[in-house]
Structure 1
Amino acid sequence: MKNNHIRLEKVNLFYSSVAFKERSLKSLAGRLLSSRKAKHEVHDVHALKDISLDIRPGERVGLLGHNGAGKSTFLKMLAGLYPITSGARSVVGTVRSLFDLSLGFEPDASGRENILYRGLLLGLSPNFMREIEEEIVAFADIGEFIDYPIKTYSAGMQVRLAFAISTIVGGDILLLDEVIGAGDANFMTKAKQRILSLIEQSEILVLASHDFQTLESICDRGLVFHHGQLVFDGQVDKCIQEYKKVNNLS
């Protein structure tokens, strides 16, 4: 029997200040030649602060917080994209995440070639990707451009293809950062249907959104983040009330 779960114990995550500084030779020379001293020293950013929680199979968890509160960082930490600085992180189960859709595209390669590349990034085998290639092509519905280099695509076409690839298979744990806008009305209808299907198949869902109606319709539990801290964990309706209270919203 599977024991899929998410368990965090006093998790802290810092962004290094180095990531915020210019590191090119040109910028370095500019600073050396400048007679003006920096008015503010850049410090490491404490993005997540002492986060402890358990999420078990069957739970549908919504995330709320102002921009910069830590929601996206939290999701990327769960996905293993951001390493924690201290504490303990245990995520058991196959994780599928829908954010950073442009990740893994090779601009000079065709759409078909990128289907294979992105599939490998998702941990899927070349044989499997070849078997489902036509299904992905049909869902993306970008016509002859599927055989053109990605660099010739519009932003919308890239998102459509990336969405089609990333959602072709589900996982035990589904991480979503907002509902993805990916083209015209017909495609959006298909996209929403596929997301709902993935949600139904997943054992655990973690969804970050500012859409209260979506959170109330899908989630039963809510988390409120505020300046990197988890300030509320409870029923989703009370979560929305707490979010409004913390952010002084009517």
Structure 2
Amino acid sequence: MDRVIVDNLRIEYPVIDMNRSFRKEVVNTFGEILTRREGEKPAVRAIQNLSFRLQDGDRLGLVGPNGAGKSTLLRTLAGVYLPSQGHVEVVGRISTLLTTGVGMDFDDTGYDNIMTCGLLLGLSKENIEAQRDDIIEFCDLGDYIHMPMRTYSTGMMVRLSFAIATAIEPDVLLIDEVIGAGDARFSSRAADRIEKLMTKASTLVLASHSSDTIKTFCNKGLFMMGGREVFYGDVDEALEIYHKWIMQGQQAV
């Protein structure tokens, strides 16, 4: 069955009070600024006329330079952004490793936030209770788990929110490699946890600058530039075309 359907997708961002230096940066990143009718704000087009379908067992790696539209696509699949044009449909339970900490109440304890965030992620109370001990053990906060989250360091908040987010066994898993997971020791444990989670998901969409990571976990590749599809298909072919583009750019410098 189709798990992810993207049909003629277009995403546009309005840009407010754009000065000259930022206008140049936007052009260098996205390639164009959309002109509007008089009185309307200018906008940039982050994704342009993108279409693809993913089925059970498909694991899609997103590659391309910064500003290519990879993170925007992930957030659109997660329902954070609405299409300016086109259609997006994701079937089944979604788990995202894009931004941690969403939905947390900083006046509540870490213990209480496990229930709050778990419910926001779509877990039942029974499911959360069954996984609470594993979440507490994994985030390794000790007695701080019973303290208000406003007393936590940034690293402690990341560890707790990461442990909660990875407690779901999803149908569709969306991962952006820019996610941070705290100190080096925890990062190693987090990488192992992500790897196990990816093997359980029916469908995966992963954005990464690491070719090894893409080749390990993905069977399809989408090479994007300026919000457009350059190539979509076999992961090895996608990486080959992407690497050729990188080499051509280096030779031109």
* Distance across 1 between alignment mates of 2:235 and 2:17: 35
* Distance across 1 between alignment mates of 2:96 and 2:17: 24
* Distance across 2 between alignment mates of 1:201 and 1:131: 18
Deviation at 1:249, TM superposition (A): 4.3
* Corresponding residue for residue 7 of structure 2: 9
Deviation at 1:244, TM superposition (A): 3.0
Show the 5 A alignment for 1:65-214. 65-178=64-177, 180-214=179-213
* Distance across 1 between alignment mates of 2:157 and 2:182: 10
Contact 1:4–1:93 under 8 Å retained in 2:
no
- 3-state DSSP class of the match of 2:100? coil
Deviation at 1:107, TM superposition (A): 1.7
Deviation at 1:42, TM superposition (A): 5.7
* Distance across 2 between alignment mates of 1:105 and 1:225: 33
Q: Which runs of 5+ in 1 are unaligned?
A: 22-40
- 3-state DSSP class of the match of 2:169? coil
Deviation at 1:187, TM superposition (A): 2.5
* Corresponding residue for residue 32 of structure 2: none
* More displaced stretch, 127-136 vs 82-91: 127-136
What's the TM-score once normalised by structure 1's chain length?
0.84
What stretches of structure 1 move > 4 A for 4+ residues in a row?
A: 18-21
Deviation at 1:165, TM superposition (A): 0.3
* Distance across 1 between alignment mates of 2:92 and 2:117: 20
* Distance across 2 between alignment mates of 1:85 and 1:179: 25
* Corresponding residue for residue 239 of structure 1: 238
Contact 2:11–2:48 under 8 Å retained in 1:
yes
* Distance across 2 between alignment mates of 1:16 and 1:150: 34
Q: Which amino acid aligns with 2:75?
A: K
Contact 1:4–1:172 under 8 Å retained in 2:
no
Q: Which amino acid aligns with 1:238?
A: E
Equivalenced residue count is: 229
What's the TM-score once normalised by structure 2's chain length?
0.83
Q: Which runs of 5+ in 2 are unaligned?
A: 20-39
* Distance across 1 between alignment mates of 2:227 and 2:65: 10
* Distance across 2 between alignment mates of 1:149 and 1:88: 41
Q: Which amino acid aligns with 2:192?
A: Q
